[in-house]
Amino acid sequence: MATTTGLDYLRSRTVVDCDTADIEVAKSLGPFQHSTSNQAIILGELLKPSSAEIVASAKADAKILHPKYSSISVEELAVEIGIVRLAVRMSSHIQGTVLVQTNPYHSYSQEKTVVNALRLVQLFQHVQPGFDITRIAIKIPSTWEGMMACHTLELAGVRTLGTMLFTMSQAVLAAEVGCTYISPYVNELRAHIQPGFVDHAKLLPLCRAIQEYYKSTNAKTQVLGASLTSTEEIFSLAGIDRLTISPPLLEQLSTQPKPANAPSLFDVAPTAPLPAPGTSYLNDSGKFQITFSRDLDGASNVKLIEAVNAFCGFQDKLVQLMS
């Protein structure tokens, strides 16, 4: 009898997505529903020798298309084309959606985020004419401006994911604007980029509470847990709508047996508080901003600011690569 692995067990309870643009991961550890990416993941993939052709074609396309998209630099356009080319390549090796992230420099501009997202959708059609728009979701930072951009995009038929999400107030607003997905960061971003840093305030209970709240309000938004650092964290979220998991953790899950004792937060009642019935932020930016900024005495706001700054740094490196 075949051994049931940790990955098999997880898939029996949760939709598993891959947090990578590497098609070899999809081939060897799939099948996966969705694939997620961000500027850090894209940079790592484009720096591989195997991606040299994608970088070269992105640069060439950007020079040709720049007159149509002259509001950004040729290099920024080349970055976006590179992101889309990697997503299109990955789409052949997954069953569902490719999720790509907007330029983090637009995190506090609704207008620029909307323009950026629509440009990405158009670039999919350039790279692969007829690409199914329902297989695209745009990841947007969960600032007030980002959430308002999600509202506009969802009304226009573009699926969105509210990323860099650390609080219940962000989750409430994301559902109100109609985000298709949200990604609560279990660990703040520093856990992945600062050697030796450990997040001692992991947001595992928040993931559980958000999903319970969404069920209670019949929200269409799905919870896609992200920023995981161990299989223990993953097993504690078995039962969540979706998880996006990095290649190293996927490898661990695929080689270790099903855990004999893997308690999940989704087997018990939520411990984090749920919002009061009727809680709304959609028409009150001030209420949202003060509630969000006061969460954990400002620590959640700091996490968001640091994540945006970090992704801006990766964006800078991508632009340099395309120079």
Question: Active-site residue numbers?
Answer: 139
323 contacts: CB under 8 Å, gap ≥ 6: 75
User: Two tokens at 96?
Assistant: 């569902």
Angle formed at CA 155 by CA 152 and CA 160, multiple of 5 degrees: 70
Are the beta carbons of 118 and 103 closer than 8 angstroms? Answer: no
Pairing of strands 35-36, 242-245: unpaired
Are the beta carbons of 118 and 93 closer than 8 angstroms? Answer: no
Torsional class of 178: left (φ above 0), alpha (ψ -120 to 50), beta (otherwise): left
